[in-house]
Structure 1
Amino acid sequence: MILVTGATGHLGKATIDSLLEKGIQANQISALVREEAKAQDLKAKGVTLKIGDYDDYISLVTAFKDVDKLFLISGTDVVNRSKQQESVIRAAKQIGVKRIYYTSFERKNDTETSPVAFLAESHLYTENLIKASGISYTIFRNNMYLDALPFFVGENFSQTGVFFPAGETKSAFASRRDMAEAVANVLTSEGHDNKTYFISNTENISMREVAEIIGNVTGKPVNYISPTPEVYADALSKADVPAEFVRMLSGTAEAIKQGEFSSEKTDLENLLGRKPTSAKEFLTQFYSKK
């Protein structure tokens, strides 16, 4: 039995869909959800729903019964994520889960000097816990999603341009759908025990190039402006963006600028058995609908 946590999120649903497309029977897939009402689409596909909460250890132990492979999608509660994922790993060990698959992140800097250290801390903590658990594991060092680019670009790009302090540094963004397919391929094959896979695109692209592609797709030139971090944070604050999101966006932009997500090494193409979706392909599809 394969169990997918975070199953109502984008990556969780995409992974389950990929598993089904590969011929895995729905009754061999479980989805960990907090509320059954929010997972009726999964239930309709025949996927078994397991009710569990990262903050409720007993519910996790119950949900993990009969699970052989646990796909742990990192939680979104950054403040409590380390403690929550520790509970997941302890419950998996207690109930006898044979393999854990975890979505970590691509990075160059593991220290507190990283501009995204506040996000990285829980990932590094979880990786170490998994490796020390004695359970066979596979860790996916996922790069930034191509799917996040429209969020960085903003809705008013045609008037304001792309206003994002990432400099000219290139990153190997990859699509969420490709990542989900790669995970499904690993979940349904052998030879992945105690391995770490680098999940990045085969190309690196800058935010200036992103703006150029969007301009070509929409037929209107799109400027790229890389302000100072202070100017960027001030603009977001004046637009009433919550402080937590200002910190996250500013940190992410600085991480991109420092080359945290650039990559010349990737396992994604091999795991997919094809070239990953390029940034141009993704952006063309997304912005041709605008």
Structure 2
Amino acid sequence: MKNILITGATGQMGKVVVDTLLKKISPDRINAISRKAENLANLKEKGINTFLGSYEDVESLEKAMLGVETVLLISAGDQGDRMQEHRNVIDAAMKSGVHNIAYTSRSLQDRSTLMNTLMKDHFDTEDLIRQSGLNYIIFRNALYMEFLQYFVNKDQLDKGIFLPVGDGRVAFTFRADQAEAMANVLLNNKFDNKVYQFTSNETYSFFDIAHILTKLSGKNVRYTPVELSTFEESMKQRGLPDGAIKKMGGFLMDIKNSQEAVVGHDLEYNLGRAPLTLEKGLKLLFDL
């Protein structure tokens, strides 16, 4: 088996994938590319083949893919032209003779009804991969539990949770569980054009989250559904720019509309154990 390239290797997802791979294969079979030289130094010390570059820098991508059989494309952020960045990675893989590509997509119900238009990039990237002729695996990942830290203030739990998501449910997963399962799949070396739904085994509403936080903290944590306009006004008062508020609103509306309620058992199967429950995840995240 030739080398595996991990893009975005020093990010939160990439680091766990690399650490899992290191437990099972020698470091010289791992290529890692990142735009952050200081973070690559630690990987280089472990014997990993490191490359300074970015999704915008096609030359650096092609250099990192020399001798590589499999590429894990970890989704780019939304600060730049994400679709062009993804297209660069896919094109470089085709040009460099890579056989297999995997992509970190999102587990969502219906691309045609998404309110958060940025999420459509994931489905469009899936289309590009299918059209590339490369053997592929799509990892459709559920929403990370870590997301809750942005909407729940652990120092003000008794003030409650106010969000415009109604009783929408989410199959929350812990990022590290997803990354570990992805590494396991990459090592199986069976790129049979399959889509994996990496979700928890059940869904949770924010009423459930408030109940669990009440149990863990000993405080009375209440979730109160609010209108989107009310939430947006509160964000304006906090000084958030209109663009960020609109993006956040679409994201929360997708939760309300059950886009995040996909459930499957692919994550448990590829972990070889049950994924972390929401209760255990909240205990870790909020230090309870």
- TM-score over 0.5 for the alignment? yes
Given residue 201 of structure 1, which amino acid in structure 2 is its aligned partner?
Answer: S
Given residue 245 of structure 2, which amino acid in structure 1 is its aligned partner?
Answer: V
CA distance 1:88–1:158, shift in 2 (3 Å): same
What's the offset of the Cα at 1:261?
0.8
Q: Deviations over 1:48-94 (max 9, x none)?
A: 21122211212211221111110000000355000111011001100
Structure 1 residue 266 corresponds to structure 2 residue 272: no
Name the residue aligned to 1:15. 17
What's the offset of the Cα at 1:178?
0.6
Q: Deviations over 1:252-276 (max 9, x none)?
A: 2111110001123331111111111
Inter-partner Cα distance in structure 1 for 2:152 and 2:244: 15
Given residue 123 of structure 1, which amino acid in structure 2 is its aligned partner?
Answer: H
**What SS does the corresponding residue of 1:103 show, helix, strand or coil?**
strand
What's the offset of the Cα at 1:27?
1.3
Name the residue aligned to 1:36. 37
Q: CA RMSD in A?
A: 1.5
CA distance 1:155–1:286, shift in 2 (3 Å): closer
CA distance 1:157–1:192, shift in 2 (3 Å): farther
Inter-partner Cα distance in structure 2 for 1:39 and 1:63: 13
CA contact (8 A) 1:213 1:284 kept: no
Inter-partner Cα distance in structure 2 for 1:155 and 1:217: 12
Structure 1 residue 143 corresponds to structure 2 residue 154: no
CA contact (8 A) 1:105 1:143 kept: yes
What's the offset of the Cα at 1:241?
2.1
Identity of aligned pairs, percent?
Answer: 35
CA contact (8 A) 2:100 2:191 kept: no
Inter-partner Cα distance in structure 1 for 2:22 and 2:60: 26
* Equivalences, count: 286
What's the offset of the Cα at 1:98?
1.0
When the two structures are superposed, what TM-score results if normalisation uses the length of structure 1? 0.94
Name the residue aligned to 1:72. 73
CA contact (8 A) 1:32 1:51 kept: yes
What's the offset of the Cα at 1:156?
4.9
CA distance 1:243–1:14, shift in 2 (3 Å): farther
What's the offset of the Cα at 1:109?
1.8
What's the offset of the Cα at 1:159?
4.4
Return 5+ residue gaps in structure 1 as ranges: none
Inter-partner Cα distance in structure 2 for 1:8 and 1:248: 26
Name the residue aligned to 2:238. 239
**What SS does the corresponding residue of 1:93 show, helix, strand or coil?**
helix
Name the residue aligned to 2:115. 115
What's the offset of the Cα at 1:34?
1.3
CA contact (8 A) 2:78 2:118 kept: no
Given residue 73 of structure 1, which amino acid in structure 2 is its aligned partner?
Answer: I
What's the offset of the Cα at 1:146?
1.1
Name the residue aligned to 1:251. 250
Name the residue aligned to 1:215. 214
Given residue 250 of structure 1, which amino acid in structure 2 is its aligned partner?
Answer: G
Inter-partner Cα distance in structure 2 for 1:55 and 1:2: 20
Inter-partner Cα distance in structure 2 for 1:130 and 1:194: 10
What's the offset of the Cα at 1:40?
2.2
Q: Deviations over 1:84-141 (max 9, x none)?
A: 1101100110001110010011111212x4111x212221221111111111000011
Task: Choose 25-34 or 86-95, whichever is displaced more.
Answer: 25-34
Inter-partner Cα distance in structure 2 for 1:134 and 1:7: 25
Name the residue aligned to 2:92. 91
Name the residue aligned to 1:202. 201
